[in-house]
Amino acid sequence: MALVLLLGGARSGKSAMAVQLAADSQAPVTFIATASAGDDEMAERIRRHRESRAAEWKTVEAPIDVLAPIRATPAGDFIVIDCLTLWVANLLGGGAGAAEIDSAAAEVVRALQARDSVVVSNEVGLGIVPVNELARSFRDVLGSVNALFAQAADRAVLMVAGRALDLASIESVLERT
């Protein structure tokens, strides 16, 4: 069983790699999508993502509760969660605090560790310091969630310009604390 975390910026190839890993698994796939179509542009993005998936894959829309579809997925299925970024944004937008989100993320990690799965997330901490409190909180909470998943993952990959950088050979500062 393997948990893979794919991190990267926008349009870095994260979702394409997740789809490829799921297809390569040869297992039935449950795709847990966390996006909500709040506008026409996002609806179009969601449509394009759906078209990139195999027709026989089961897609579950789960913008808030990703744990329930994980638990409902048959044991032999490969699970894709795309993405933690929007899930965290949805939780924050719904009033959840950092501790609540960290706790929910830890539950998701525990549920995925006994499964073959790939989780997609954006690395948002490489840019400028956001100018408002909500944006800084989002960046910080997502960074914490990403670190939690990276620690638990059997493989963590940073996607940059369509290239996959394996993070396994890089020492974790979290392991020293």
Active site residues: 49
d(CA 40, CA 49): 14
Distance in Å from the first CA to the final CA of the chain: 27
Tracing tokens 């997502």 back to the chain, one arrives at 142
DSSP 8-state assignment for residue 80: E
- Residues 60 and 124: their CA atoms lie apart, in Å, by 25
At 31 the three-state DSSP class reads: strand
Buried-state track 66-97, b at ≥16 Cβ within 10 A, e below 16: bbebbeebeeebbbbbbbbbbbbbbbbeeebe
What residue has token string 């310091």?
Answer: 129
